Structure 1
Amino acid sequence: MTFNLTVSPDFAPDHISGWYFFNTWLQRQLETGIHLELYDSFDAQRTDIRAEKFDLIYANPYDASMLVRELGFQAVARPASKSDETVIAVNVESDYQSVEDLKAGARIATTDDPDVHTMGMIMLESADLDKTNTEIKEQSSYIVVAKNLLNGGADAGFFLKEAYDEMSDLIRSKMRVLVSSQISVVHHSLLVGPRMAEYIPAIQQALLTMQDNDKGKSVLESMDVSNWEPMDSEQTEFMIDLIDTLID
């Protein structure tokens, strides 16, 4: 039997090869077939997830609630020292020096990354802004969000902090961060579905010792991950409750 793996679409394009290396490595560790399928769109991926197409998912925190509480997935590990933080940035030549400087009618460039967009909108509340008095411009990627800021097509943009930090020095030099979230307990995680439940102990053991040999360490480096940390049900439920509270 071949299982199916997918990855939340918000990883940096430079790490695409890393996920293919990871998939090959994991198949060898588990001695079973795993097919990796990547998406450009969160909505398209979520449709296939709901259709129960996948058995192993590197998921963003927003989707964790659906996966755990509706589809019976179990979180087994998370990348160490990697939390999902959101950045609101503007063109470096902009007059805006803080979020509170933004006014009604502000054009906000964002992506369909659900947790980043949600956190960005929450951070706009300090300026009395919400979806009713801003112009939301959904873009296909964080690079396109940055282009919108640089060419004057948007007043501010939402970024996953990791994605913002991985942009070239040239692009970042033309933008300025107004605010960055500091939640620290919200993060991506690797979740295993019901059809693959029997492999959970082997998967967790393989991940937690991945950095201990040259091959595993090389794969981790290609993914920009130092090592994995275990996740239990209590940690998972805490993160899901926090996300649900923020959304509500």
Structure 2
Amino acid sequence: MTLNLTVSPDFAPDHISGWFIFNTWLQRQLGTGVHLELYDCFDAQRQDIKSGKFDLVYANPFDASMLVRELGFKALVRPISKPDETIIATHKDSPLQCVEDLKPGAQLVATDDPDVNRIGMIMLEPADLDQTNTETTTVDSYVIVAKNVLNKNAEVGFFLKDAYDELSDLIKSQMKILVSSEISVVHHTLLLCPKLQKYAPKIQQRLVKMADDEKGRSVLESMNLLGWEVMTEEETEFMIDLIDTLLDE
């Protein structure tokens, strides 16, 4: 048996090798083959997930909602101390000092990460801005979001905080943060498909203990993670309800 694993495309490019190292570690822990497939596009990945291509998915909160509610996946673990927050940033030389300084017709740049974009739009509400009176350019990665901000092709960019933090110091030194969300209960999650849920306790156990030995800690470091903690059904449902509420507003 070979498990097929995929990872939400919003991780930093510097950690691509880390996920392949994790894939090898997971194979050894489970005693079975694990095939990792990475994407640079949310929509393409989403289509393949819906077609039943993957057994394990490290998903962003929006996709976690779809995986659990529509496809019957079970949330296993979440990364320790790594909530998903959204940042709105602008060029360091911009006259903007806060989101309220933005005016109708504001030019935004973002990826197609729906939960980040929805939270970002909510944070623009104090400026009386929404999708009807702003212009958004959608790009493939947060690095490209940053390039658009630095080139002043957009007034502000929406970032997953973790992705923003992973940008180079040079890039971050040329930007300033206008606002950051503080939701704290929204995060990425590793989920398992319905047909393999009898293996959930074993996979959870291996992942939760991953930081207990030197080799496991080294793999986690390559992924920029501290470790994993079990995601309960109650916690999963709470997060999904929150995401669904945000997206329905």
Which TM-score band applies after superposition, normalised by the shorter structure? over 0.9
**1:119 paired to 2:106:** no
Alignment partner of 1:78 is 2:94: no
Amino acid at match of 1:127: A
User: AA paired with 1:19?
Assistant: W
How do 1:95-174 residues align onto structure 2 when only pairs under 5 Å count? 95-174=95-174
SS of structure 1 residue aligned to 2:132? coil
Deviates more, 1:139-148 or 1:173-182: 139-148
1:44 maps to 44
- Unmatched 5+ stretches in structure 2: none
**Secondary structure in 2 matching 1:57:** strand
Give the stretch that moved more between structures: 76-85 or 194-203: 194-203
Distance 1:34 1:150 in 2: 39
Return the alpha-carbon distance in structure 1 between the equivalents of residues 102 and 134 of structure 2.
Answer: 10
What does the per-residue CA deviation read over 1:86-141, in whole Å, with 9 as the maximum and x for residues that have no partner? 00001111111000100001000100111111111111111111111101001111
Deviations along 1:206-246, one digit per CA (max 9) or x if unpaired, are: 00100111111111110111111111100000000000111
Counterpart code for 1:207:
L
Residue 133 of structure 2: SS of its match in structure 1? coil
SS in 1 for 2:97: coil
Aligned positions of 1:55-66 closer than 5 A: 55-66=55-66
Between the aligned partners of 1:74 and 1:220, the Cα distance in structure 2 is 22
Deviations 1:68-101 (A, max 9, x none): 1111100110000000000000111111100010
Once residues 195 and 216 of structure 1 are traced to their aligned partners in structure 2, the CA distance between those partners, rounded to angstroms, is 27
Q: CA deviation at 1:195?
A: 2.3
Instruction: Please give the alpha-carbon distance, in whole angstroms, between the structure 1 residues aligned to 2:25 and 2:152.
Output: 44
SS at 2:236 equivalent: helix
Tell me the residue number matched to 1:237: 237
2:19 counterpart residue number = 19
How far did residue 186 of structure 1 move?
0.1
Task: Give 1:192's aligned amino acid.
Answer: L
- Percent identity, aligned pairs only, is 68
Instruction: Answer with 61-70 or 232-241: which moved more.
Output: 61-70
Query: Per-residue CA shift, 1:178-217, capped at 9, x if unaligned?
Result: 0000000000010011122121111000001001111111
Partner amino acid for 1:158? F
Q: Which amino acid aligns with 1:31?
A: G
Residue aligned with 1:58, SS = strand
Whether 2:202 is the aligned partner of 1:202: answer: yes
CA–CA distance in 2 between the matches of 1:129 and 1:164? 23
> What's 1:53 paired with?
53
Count of residue pairs the alignment pairs up:
248
Moved over 3 A (4+): none
AA of the residue aligned to 1:70: E
